[in-house]
Amino acid sequence: MDLSIVIPLFNEDESLPELAAWIERVVQENNYSYEIIMVDDGSTDDSWKVIEGLRAVNPNIKGIKFQRNYGKSAALNEGFKAAQGDVIITMDADMQDSPDEIPGLRKMIVEDGFDMVSGWKKKRYDNTLTKNIPSKFFNAAARKSSGIKLHDFNCGLKAYRKKVVKSIEVYGEMHRYIPILAKWAGFRKIGEKVVEHRPRKFGVTKFGWERFVNGFLDLFSIMFVGKFGKRPMHFFGLWGSVVFFTGFVIWAYLFIAKFAFQKYNMTDRPLFYIGVISLVIGVQMFLAGFLGELIARNSSERNTYLIEEKTGL
């Protein structure tokens, strides 16, 4: 199968028929063998009925319905598990992404050798104040911390080589950072393509202002987990040692100063409290590191790695 198109959706019943018809037109023009996987993320409108109706007419359309709303990441993750195509395209259900971009994205994977290609909504049809400006900050932070040169990390329209979607797990709200997940999994050829963006035709956006708060917190998590997730002691041990040692030096100085040079109450010196706090925090960080190691050791993923090739085995 050439192509799997994965569409996460939450209350998008109005858009689906039009979206499906447009995708069908594009894939037929290009003669792709394909499937469209619509993941209904617990919609409370008629989305699921619409999906069943579409499937009755076109068996290439497949559906998964969640028991409740779990979020876009969960929907994508489930779609990725089910996908069978050599190339997987994800797109939003609200018709903000254009299916006409599919052949171009697919070509970059198949012919130009990219592992993953992210869309870039260069000209964007969203509210400037609440989305476009915060999104610039957010992308700059993601770019800087991950080293991946993308302008638009969170674009819903993306293309992947099959191997990529089978090797990453999109959880929480990590759909904003799939390029980073792919990079951690060892896929280096991550490209970008300017894509057409359109105003939302039906319905309303499903993400409010919290997206930016959560987005930033998730960025910290992903950078930390990516770097130290499997060796937490290397982070906590280092900083715990630095802080503990600082406290130790302060105390050594206070003791020497007290007995050798002058007589004073140690508790009269502000430095005394800084020393106490440093010792306590240093020990705490060490303990956090040990606990982290215990958790990492018990994790079923402690030894998951991807083997690219083997020879003689």
Which lies closer to ligand UDP via its Cβ, residue 94 or residue 115?
94
CA-CA distance, 178 to 158, in Å (whole number)? 10
Q: Is 135 in the site for Mg ion (CB under 5 A)?
A: no
For ligand UDP, the binding residue among 75, 95, 102, 157 (CB under 6 A) is 75
Residue 14 is a binding residue for ligand UDP (CB under 6 A): no
- By CB under 5 A, residue 35 contacts Mg ion: no
Applying the rule CB under 6 A, the residues between 177 and 206 that interact with ligand UDP are: 205-206
Strand order in the sheet with 3-9: 61-65, 34-40, 3-9, 87-90, 158-161, 116-120, 190-194
Q: Does 69 bind ligand UDP (CB under 6 A)?
A: yes
- Phi-psi category of residue 169: left, alpha or beta, with phi > 0 → left and psi -120 to 50 → alpha: beta
CA distance 63 to 47: 10
Give the CA angle between residues 174, 177, 183 to the nearest 5°: 120
Q: Do residues 152 and 54 make contact, with C-beta atoms less than 8 angstroms apart? A: no
Tell me which of 24, 64, 71, 135 binds ligand UDP, using CB under 6 A.
71
| Segment 17 to 56, residues that bind ligand UDP, using CB under 6 A | 41
Q: How far apart are CA 7 and CA 95, in angstroms?
A: 11
Which of positions 89-148 make contact with ligand UDP (CB under 6 A)? 92-94, 96
Q: What residues between 54 and 113 interact with Mg ion by CB under 5 A?
A: 92, 94, 96
State the Cα–Cα distance between residues 223 and 216, nearest whole angstrom. Answer: 11
Rule CB under 6 A: is residue 77 a binding residue for ligand UDP?
Answer: no
| Residue of 77, 61, 64, 78 whose CA lies nearest to 23 | 61
**Choice from 8, 232, 240, 292 touching ligand UDP (CB under 6 A):** 8
By CB under 6 A, is residue 12 in contact with ligand UDP? yes
12: contact with Mg ion by CB under 5 A: no
Chain residues in the site for Mg ion (CB under 5 A): 92, 94, 96
Chain residues in the site for ligand UDP (CB under 6 A): 8-10, 12, 41, 69, 71-72, 75, 92-94, 96, 156, 205-207
